[in-house]
A and B are shown apart, each in its own frame.
Chain A
Amino acid sequence: MESDGLQNVDMVRIPAVPVFNWSVGNFMERFFDGLKGGKFMGVKCPDCGRVYLPPRMICERCFAKNDEWVELPPEGTVESFTLAQVKVGEDGELADLEAPVLIGMVKHEGADTCLVARIEGLDPEEASVGIRVTAVLDKSAESILDILSHYVPR
């Protein structure tokens, strides 16, 4: 049954915007500092040698604190991808994109975990798992979150 909604109050809004004052933490701070200088900084588990990019403080497999920093190349492999026709809009629902966006999950050479970013310069029809890509950085980006701009095929 479709509801017409009650007539007296059509929407309740919380009279405050929930903004969280998180620090990105020491490890992500160093990751972002690395990106500003054009470097991909990951961390290695002291026990199993697994390399985390982006860096994680703890290796869940070994229950150990990661402590060795490693610089990784900007090149990696597409582990999976999707062609987005929609995005989550301001209202929290799926809204159509004006143009589709190719999104890739990329494992940098020497890393064991993945970064998710846009892929450009690749016909979506040609996209496949295993394609080798290189990161493109935009050091002039307004937000440090946007310095890792996208990947291109190599």
Chain B
Amino acid sequence: MEKQVAIVGYAQTGYESDVDASREILVLEAAVGALRSAGISREVIDTVVTANNDYMDGRTISNMRLVEPSGAWLKDESKVEMDGAYAVLYAMMRILSGDHDVAMVIGVSQASVFPTYVPGVMTLDPTFDRERGLLNEVSAAALQARAYMDACGVTEEQIAGISVKNLRNAALNPLALRRMPVLTVDDVMSSRMLYSPIRELNAFPPSDGACSVILASSKKAAEITDCPVWIRGVGFSHDSYLTERPLDKLGSLKQAAERAYAAAGISDAKDKIDVAEVHENFAHEELMAYEALGFCGEGKGSALLESGATKINGELPVNPSGGALAANVACAAGLARIAEAALQVRGEAGSHQVKGVKTALAHGQTGLCAQENIVFILGGE
């Protein structure tokens, strides 16, 4: 894709486990922050796409009271009930249609207000799995982790290495929830066991927060900013229900990445991508993502980690922000990966800035065991 849609602004709230603010105030903070970052007023926004979830918000058509804080009053407004990364895709399509020039995307949820693990249970097959009480997003991820470990000879200590890398990176990110500058593999391995091999520190922390990204057509982007972050490519793919597909690899992420690379004209991902923000709800998913994204060969994810390449000062840093292990707001975690990738391209990431980022990758996922995946390739001028 040649310079058709650009990211021109973004903002994230600080992430907390029990924020002293309403959902509306979180959205207002993200929306106002993104407008300020883009240097534009509400009037410039043509269309608003929110990413939120009726169940998590405890109300039906839960975007209805987001009209006020998102700045959508009397504007074209709609909702994606998935991760906000998909809302970016939808907003991009609305701009590409030619009907809109500037779109605001906002993802939000507050894990502190809903029963944290029930939404995951509600995604299970209601005629069997849901009722039997064994599966949920953590136990399902444990089955995925074990299948991957068995197929690729990966150890629990190697998986813990992802948590150590990401949560230490998070110490450099003032917005992150879990900031752990001196975390060790032993610390991760002695954290509370949930479903083997998944422990508390290699599972996401339920989080409250919001993230917003502003997109613009090429014409408008040129008016708004001197440093647009172009969407060079996007790919997405949706796999089967978790008991009906191989769990030892992320097939739909591989396909999504291949589509995004083709759109961006990238043939050697490891060489061309300067930084990646990956949506790893669980530590092992980042190792699996290395393989699916083509950063290394199949089964070589742990070797890539141990080579140091994905550290913040490595040749292909992954999750300098700390990733979803550091803060994971449902409906906003993948969107936050896009905001963080854009931040890196613009050189505005502060303490967790990677040097010389020209091309960045951002990944979002939805569904048990990463059932569907979306990949964006972002680049500057």
What is the CB-to-nearest-CB distance from A46 to chain B, in angstroms, rounded to a whole number? 17
Q: Which of B20, B131, B133, B244 contacts A113 (CB 8 A)?
A: B244
> Roughly how many angstroms separate A1 CA and B143 CA in the complex, as a whole number?
35
The verdict on B186 contacting chain A, using a C-beta distance below 8 Å, is no
Chain A minimum-CB-distance residue to B128:
A54
Query: Once the chains bind, are A88 and B147 in contact (CB under 8 Å)?
Result: no
Q: Which of B116-124, B266-274, B296-304, B305-313 forms contacts with chain A?
A: B116-124
Q: Which of A1, A52, A101 contacts B16 (CB 8 A)?
A: A1
The reply to whether B117 and A85 form a contact with Cβ atoms under 8 Å apart is no
Min distance, Cβ A49 to any Cβ of chain B, angstroms: 15
B136 on the A face (CB < 8 A): yes
Min CB–CB distance B127 → chain A (angstroms): 4
Q: Which of B127, B134, B144, B240 contacts A116 (CB 8 A)?
A: B134
Q: Does B129 contact A (CB under 8 A)?
A: yes
Q: Which residues of A contact B126 (CB under 8 A)?
A: 20, 22
Beta-carbon nearest neighbor of B200 in chain A: A94
Known: A88-B117, A116-B132. 7 other contacts (CB 8 A): A3-B20, A22-B126, A81-B146, A82-B139, A82-B195, A103-B195, A105-B243
Known: A87-B133, A105-B143. A1 touches B150 (CB 8 A): no
Contact A93 B150 (CB under 8 A): no
Q: How far is the CA of A12 from the CA of B57 in the complex (A)?
A: 12
B61: interface (CB < 8 Å): no
Q: Interface size for chain A: under 10, 10 to 19, 20 to 34, or 35 or more residues?
A: 35 or more
A68-111 with Cβ < 8 A to chain B: 79-88, 91-94, 101, 103, 105
Decide: A60 and B132 in contact? CB cutoff 8 A: no
Q: Establish whether residues A94 and B16, one from each chain, have CB atoms under 8 Å apart when the complex forms.
A: no
Instruction: Let me know if B115 and A93 touch, CB within 8 A.
Output: yes
Residues of B within 8 A of A3 (CB): 18-20
Which of A82, A87, A91, A128 is close to B142, meaning CB atoms less than 8 Å apart?
Answer: A82
Q: With A22-B126, A116-B134 as given contacts, are A84 and B146 in contact (CB-CB < 8 Å)?
A: no
Contact (Cβ within 8 A) A92 B118: yes
Q: Which residues of B contact A60 (CB under 8 A)?
A: 240, 244
Interface assignment of A126: CB less than 8 Å from any CB of chain B: no
Of A3, A56, A112, which is in contact with the most chain B CB atoms at under 10 Å from its CB? A3
Given contact pairs A103-B134, A115-B243, A116-B129, A92 touches B115 in the complex (Cβ within 8 A): yes
